[in-house]
Structure 1
Amino acid sequence: MKDGAPGMTPEQEEEARRLEAGRLLFARPVNFFFAAQKLEGLPPASAPEVAFCGRSNVGKSSLINAIAGQNALARVSHTPGRTRQLNFFAAGEGTEHPLTIVDMPGYGFAQASKAVKADWQGLMFDYLRGRPTLRRVFLLMDARIETKDGDRAAMDLLGEAAVPFQIVLTKSDDAKPASRLLKRQQEMAEIVRKRVAAHPVVLTTSAAKGTGMPELRAALADIAASG
């Protein structure tokens, strides 16, 4: 991409640059390299890290596969062993700005704050609170359904752990009619205005259709470049 493309404003040029950086970050294969079930078993902290979390049925594995452009990087299943550990993936290996992606266990179908805390109070919360390279958590929310108590409790825990988080709406292709998706986006915008730890930009995605993937990759590239 050439700088100063004819007819582009500086803002458009910057956005084009971000999108291209995101594309380049995931032009190489993303590789699984570590799984941890205990805090002392975490891999050494090196590259900037981002973590993806959400309810067990929010489409997290499908989204990670779509970001990476790989069909089976993260297993789309509810196998008990995998959902109880942190899975680490390396993106941009061999480039100037690599990134580590962490797949966190889903926090299930908890309807109350106490239930979510019980599920995350061990390895999950300790990881969020103590990982020096963790730059942001992407909190996945289903675009088709209302925010659950468990989702709000997860946001509370992220705030308690002092971890910045960004909301990503998933399965937007199934949020019909269009007015339902718009209402959901407006709800998320209202939520982030009230949460100190929340990133102001809510991303809308569909792993099935590829919606929002360039923008999400660009956000990840921004974090990788920040060091």
Structure 2
Amino acid sequence: MNGAAPSGSGTGAGAERYARDLFKSGAAFAKSVSALDQLPADDVPEIAFAGRSNVGKSSLLNALCGQHGLARTSNTPGRTQLLNLFPIGEPPELRLVDMPGYGFAKAPKQVVEGWKRLVFDYLRGRATLRRVMLLIDVRRGIKDVDLEVMELLDEAAVTYQVALTKADKVKPTGAAFVQKEALAALSKRPAAFPEVLVSSAEKNEGIDQMRLTILDAARS
């Protein structure tokens, strides 16, 4: 994408347009990696996406970038088994990283352990990682397995932000209640960013705000 980002605080209609155009015109799938030494150079900031299997990571990535087939979706938990890289912009202004889902992956135990090692090594060793977007299904709320991942992120001192997905599946009052609960749960966690996003990839709700949040995090 050509052109400079609008000046200012990163909010408003101009910033939204810039973020929307950047993600929609400048997003591409680059590669999948199974080890840290396969990652590209630490040349641009990265925003990673984490969440339980089937939380809707691929659908959200597709919505952010306005491309239905950019990230593959599946009803089978655990399909994403590698780190999938999506540069944004030309030349890239940032890179999105789709991490393997955790929780109820339908895979042999040794394969699941391999995924965990890859993810944990990435979280602890990637200098350009600016933030992890921790996706939570609004119908489920924060579960024990999510708390375990938060503990890991706190220990690794990796900033993470909760984003509720599938908001179209509940009433607005229900989403607001879960959002309030999540904020309370995060209030005493040292690495948690103090804002909880609400989104629906299917209805394209909250997507503009998430793009702005991601860009702000990448530039921080």
1:149 and 2:144 are equivalent in the alignment: yes
Letter in 2 for 1:136: R
Paired residue type of 1:104: M
Structure 1 stretches of 4+ with a deviation exceeding 4 A read 78-82, 117-121
Paired amino acid for 1:193: S
How does the TM-score come out when normalised to structure 2?
0.85
Provide the residue aligned with 2:19 in structure 1: 22
Aligned counterparts, 1:84-103, within 5 A: 84-94=81-91, 98-103=93-98
Determine whether 1:122 maps to 2:117: yes
Q: Secondary structure at the match of 1:26?
A: helix
Deviations 1:95-131 (A, max 9, x none): 7xx1100000000238xxxxxx956641111100010
1:113 corresponds to which residue? none
What TM-score do the two structures reach when normalised by structure 1? 0.83
Amino acid at match of 1:48: P
Unaligned 5+ segments in structure 2 are: 1-5, 106-111
For these two proteins, the number of residue pairs brought into alignment is 208
Match of 1:187? 181
Q: CA deviation at 1:81?
A: 8.8
Larger radius of gyration: 1
CA contact (8 A) 1:34 1:43 kept: no
- In the other structure, the counterpart of 1:135 is 130
Q: Which residue of structure 2 lines up, in the alignment, with residue 163 of structure 1?
A: 158
Equivalent residue, structure 2, for 1:6:
none
Whole-Å separation in 2 of the counterparts to 1:169 and 1:138: 10
**Alpha-carbon distance in structure 1 between the residues aligned to 2:63 and 2:190:** 29
Correspondence for 2:109: none
Mapped to 1, the partners of 2:185 and 2:212 lie a distance apart of 23
CA positional deviation for 1:179:
2.9
What SS is found at the alignment partner of 2:29? strand
Q: Are residues 1:32 and 2:29 paired?
A: yes
Cα distance between partner residues in 1 of 2:11 and 2:78: 42
Matches within 5 A, 1:50-69: 50-69=47-66
Structure 1 residues 60, 27: CA separation in 2 closer, same or farther (over 3 Å shift)?
Answer: closer
Distance of aligned partners of 1:80 and 1:149 in 2 relative to their CA distance in 1, 3 Å threshold? closer
Provide the alpha-carbon RMSD of the alignment: 2.5
Do residues 174 (structure 1) and 169 (structure 2) align? yes
CA 1:78/1:36 → structure 2, altered by over 3 Å: closer, same or farther? farther
Is residue 2:205 matched to residue 1:211?
A: yes
- Paired letter, 1:147: I
- Answer yes or no: is the 8 Å Cα contact 1:159–1:196 preserved in 2: yes
Distance 2:78 2:54 in 1: 16
Displacement after TM superposition at 1:27 (Å): 3.8
Q: Which amino acid aligns with 2:71?
A: A
Q: Aligned with 2:101: secondary structure?
A: coil
How far 1:175 moved relative to its partner?
1.4
Match of 2:72 in 1: 75
For 1:218 and 1:74, the matched residues in 2 are separated by 20
Can you list the C-alpha shifts for 1:169-216, whole angstroms capped at 9, x where unaligned? 00001013x332121011111022121111111110000001000000
Q: Is the 8 A contact 2:11 2:212 kept in 1?
A: no
